[in-house]
Amino acid sequence: MIEYQDPLIEGRLISRYKRFFADIDTNDGVITAHCANTGRMTGLLEEGSRVWFRKQPPGRKLAFAWELVEVASGVACINTARANELLFSTDLSPWIADVTCVRREPKVGSHRFDLELSRNGQAVYVEIKSVTLCDDSGAGLFPDAPSERATQHVNLLAEMAVDGLETHLVFMAMHTGIQFVKPHRALDRAFADACIKARGAGVTFHALRAEITPHRIQVTGAIPVELD
């Protein structure tokens, strides 16, 4: 579970621009916040949407960082780093049996995975994908922009599985409107095909959902993954 140490500050979105900047209207005037999301953020950028942001530590280029947005379909966490932080702080054994968390960002060859777990001394590797694109059916679609890097990650998981290592990909639904998750085939066919191939190679796919509020974010359970 993630608990915000200091209360998030509420405002209204004006715009997100140059990928990393968001202007937000507050009771004290307009501020510019860091946007820790390199995706398109489809469906999350409507002007006037209710948003929450936090103060950054001294010395940062921007004094504030954008965390949450509320849209008609639910509340989403736009800070993609939170998915990894959330799963590192969560007991994953209900979904990946009998494991304990060892460390974040373990290096295997030239690649850094998101999590290393352990089961009876054997390493288990996990890649995490933060999902915020929610369509009208409640599907969480990943990615929200073509991602050659994400496809490479899946292919590497498959190669490791063929070599006998246990590998998992977890889609973390960081939007409360998401009811199930599937690859965004219409946008990134290569990623969707790589997922099906990886499943056949032995990679296990999961999707988890979260309760997201201005006070905390916590995993509430598993939801379906549809790869086909």
Q: Are 169 and 127 in contact (CB under 8 A)?
A: yes
Distance between CA 11 and CA 72 in Å, rounded? Answer: 16
The phi and psi torsions of 199 (rounded to 5 degrees) equal -60, -45
Full set of structural domains in the chain with CATH: 2-77 (2.40.50.580), 81-222 (3.40.1350.60)
Count of other CB atoms within 10 angstroms of residue 105: 11
Q: Is 47 exposed, middle or buried (0-12, 13-18, 19+ CB in 10 A)?
A: exposed
Q: In the numeric block, which tokens belong to residue 15?
A: 């715009």
pLDDT in tens, the chain (228 residues): 999 989 999 999 999 999 999 999 999 999 999 999 989 999 999 999 999 999 999 999 999 999 999 999 999 999 999 999 999 999 999 999 999 999 999 988 888 899 999 999 999 999 999 999 999 999 999 999 999 999 999 999 999 999 999 999 999 999 999 999 999 999 999 999 999 999 999 999 999 999 999 999 999 999 999 998
pTM of the model: 0.96
- DSSP symbols for 48-82: T-EEEEEEPPTT-SSSEEEEEEEETTEEEE--THH
- Structure-token match 């990886």, residue found: 198
Distance between CA 23 and CA 69 in Å, rounded? Answer: 13
19-29 burial, b if ≥16 CB within 10 A, otherwise e?
Answer: eeebebeeeee
One-letter amino acid for residue 69 of the chain: V
- Residues 188-223: tens digit of each pLDDT: 999 999 999 999 999 999 999 999 999 999 999 999
Q: What's the Cα-to-Cα distance from 166 to each of 66, 79, 101, 197, 223, rounded to whole Å?
A: 35, 28, 14, 16, 21
Distance between CA 16 and CA 40 in Å, rounded? Answer: 10
Strands 50-55, 64-71: pairing is antiparallel
One-letter amino acid for residue 114 of the chain: D
Residues in the chain: 228
Instruction: Give the per-residue pLDDT at 209.
Output: 97
Instruction: Give the per-residue pLDDT at 110.
Output: 80
